Amino acid sequence: MNLKEWIFTTDHKRVGILYLIGSLAAFAVAGIMALLMRAELSTIGPTITSNPTNYNVWLYTHGAVMILGFQIPALTGFFANFCIPLMIGAKDVAFPRVNALSVWLFYVGVILALATFFIPDPPDIMWTGYPPYSTITTGNTAMYSFTVLILGFASIIGGVNFLTTVAYMRAPGMTLNKLNIFVWCTLGAFVLQLIFVPVLGTAVTLISMDKYLGTNFFDPAKGGDVLTYQNLFWFYSHPAVYVIFLPFIGVVFEVISSHAKSAVFNYKMVVYGGIGGIVLLAGEVWVHHLYVSGMADWLRIGQMVTTLMISIPVGLMMIGLVGTLYKSSIAFTTPMLYALGVVFLFLIGGLTGIPLAVPSLTLAVSDTYYVVGHFHYVMAVAGTFAIFAGIYHWFPKFSGRMYNELWGKIGFWLTFAGSNIVFWTMMDIGVKGMPRRYYDYAHFPQFESAHQLMTVGAGILAVGFAIAVLNWIIGAIKGPPAGDNPWGSPSLEWTTVSPPPHGNWPSPPSVAADWHPYAYKKN
């Protein structure tokens, strides 16, 4: 195994592993940013830095890197690359070289994002980059635009690749109704990426043109309009939530079904109602990010209804998950604990989103810690727990070895406790008025003890995550051999050896008429 082989690989599994390593590195950096912010907020007034710009740069990096460098690449890069060809019985993806290009671009994007710390005047415009501030700041807005464009391009060519792969490279006998839920979810996510990423690309290109080339798209003094940017940005960035949500809930379906040895409840309801419903509604709800931005009233009311309707497909998927647990046979392995954690914590995240769908309620809680707590429950807690569940679940497959079950569980319970301490407290003080993106909360001295509690919680969370990552590193080097199918799953990726060779199977697999990825047989 040499480095050159890895860098120039076109094997979908190695490309996936490269995505995994890059996204976990990004996760570590963005996590350290979160710890720096929590340390800063542990007292009123300056704590570890007396320059608010430092705090704003941490905040920018945390948001942009967690979303664009960790979650989207881990889900649509690592899991999609590693699992989809194996799950559909293909030797590789349709365009292996294009796949290699996408991971190279991803690394360029991650390096650009990390270079934030080494350039003068790093971006301090939040991950949203709203003008007019982003066009008048001394921070480097171009850095932001290029990072987003490169990561966006990587994900578009990944999307083309996977849609083609699933359309044309399924094993003989693999009909659409025999696809794993994860494959369906990822297809939905890539459809959304292909439609909406170009809009984000437009938005970030236009702010850099405004700032550096003298155009006036967003300058009202010269005929532009400030709100246009916010519309363009969220026209992508709300669907981006589903680009993250769909694959992560797909991972949770795979993990729960495998470790409960139970078929997915009402498969067609989950696929057509759940995934299909989300893809259909994804583009009609972006205005709920602009409820206090001065949007037209009719748009705010109209998208209140569409936003509330998101509860229908999401609710169907939750019924699918809980129905899968009914009369099942649950083994409380580490991946299963993380997956069950997603079910409970996503419940909190989803339900606390209902008041945020109502513009009149949002007038008070928008831009407060309530919103931050809510979306961290959905993305940071549920999303990251699902990614961790998936890495633990497929760990025996991609490494050929077993992780340490005891340390896995210790890590899970620490992260579970830590995330609830941090994000529940966040929602609580948000309702009482604590605004987000504050370097100093001198006007809200009553929240100091809550901030200190959250700082402690963030520390617990960090220890839990570090234990998990160390568990994988140690397991990959010297864990005991895991065997080809440690969970006893009928899904195709478990029918080949661990780790799978180049080409995946000695001869191409075909599937029988009575085969299904969730057909667990009594023996």
Partner 1 sequence: MHKTKSGRVGRISAAVLAAATCAASWASDVAQPVAQKINDPARGWDHLWHEVIVDITIIGILFALVTAYFVYKSRRTADNQVGESPTLTPAAAVAWVVIPIFVFLSIDLYTAANGWVLWNHYRDVPADRLEIKLESGMYSWDYTYPNGVRTQNQLVVPAGKPVLLRMTSRDTLHSHYIPDFRVKEDSMPGRVTYLWFYPEKPGEHLVTCAEYCGVMHSYMAGRIIVKPADEYAAWMKQEETQLAAASAPEAPAAPAKAGKPAAKPKKT
Question: Does residue number 268 form part of the binding site for partner 1 (CB under 8 A)?
Answer: yes
Interacting residues with partner 1 between 209 and 248 (CB under 8 A)? 219-221, 224-227
According to the 3-state scheme, what is the secondary structure of 130-146? CCCHHHHCCCCHHHHHH
Contact present, 371 and 356 (Cβ < 8 Å):
yes
Cα–Cα distance between 166 and 158 in angstroms, integer? 12
Q: One-letter amino acid identity for 446?
A: Q
State the nearest-atom distance from the C-beta of 1 to partner 1, in Å: 37
Q: Can residue 349 be called a binding residue for partner 1 (CB under 8 A)?
A: no
Contact flag: residue 298 with partner 1 (CB under 8 A): no
133, 413, 446, 510: which one contacts partner 1 (CB under 8 A)?
133
For the CA atoms of 399, 94, 275, 177, the dihedral, rounded to the nearest 10 degrees, stands at -90
Query: Does residue 280 belong to the site contacting partner 1 (CB under 8 A)?
Result: no
Residues 241 to 260 in contact with partner 1, rule: CB under 8 A: 260
Task: Work out how close the CB of 238 gets to partner 1 at its nearest, in angstroms, rounded to a whole number.
Answer: 18
Query: According to the binding rule CB under 8 A, does residue 448 interact with partner 1?
Result: no
User: Which string of x and - marks every residue 164-183 that binds partner 1 (by CB under 8 A)?
Assistant: --------------------
Q: Return the number of the residue (104 or 130) whose C-beta is nearest partner 1.
A: 130
Closest approach of Cβ 137 to partner 1, in Å?
A: 7
433 binds partner 1 (CB under 8 A): yes
Q: Which is nearer to partner 1, 79 or 233 (CB)?
A: 233
When asked if residue 420 is in the footprint of partner 1 (CB under 8 A), the reply is: no
Among 39, 114, 163, 318, binds partner 1 (CB under 8 A): 318
**Part of the chain binding partner 1 (CB under 8 A), chosen from 144-152, 234-242, 289-297, 479-487:** 289-297
Residue 312 interacting with partner 1 (CB under 8 A): yes
Q: Are residues 393 and 335 in contact, defined by beta-carbon separation less than 8 angstroms?
A: yes
Does residue number 325 form part of the binding site for partner 1 (CB under 8 A)? yes
Give yes or no for a contact between 93 and 102, defined as CB atoms under 8 angstroms apart: no
Residue 124 sits in the site that holds partner 1 (CB under 8 A): yes
Q: Which of residues 17-76 bind partner 1 (CB under 8 A)?
A: 52-53, 56
Instruction: Out of 26, 340, 389, 511, point to the residue binding partner 1 (CB under 8 A).
Output: 340
Nearer to partner 1 (CB atom), residue 239 or residue 349 = 349
* 85 cis-preceded (ω within 30 degrees of 0): no
Q: Residue 309 interacts with partner 1 (CB under 8 A)?
A: yes
Does 452 interact with partner 1 (rule: CB under 8 A)?
A: no
Among 157, 171, 269, 456, binds partner 1 (CB under 8 A): 269
| Cα–Cα distance, 177 to 437 (Å, whole number) | 46
Q: What is the full DSSP assignment across 482-522?
A: --S-TT---SGGGGS-SSPPTTSSSS-----TT--TT-PPP
Whole-angstrom distance, CA of residue 234 vs CA of residue 172? 41
How far is 134 from 141, CA to CA, in rounded Å?
6
- Check the CA dihedral 384-387-388-389 and report its sign: positive
DSSP 117: G
Residue 368 φ then ψ, to 5°: -110, 180
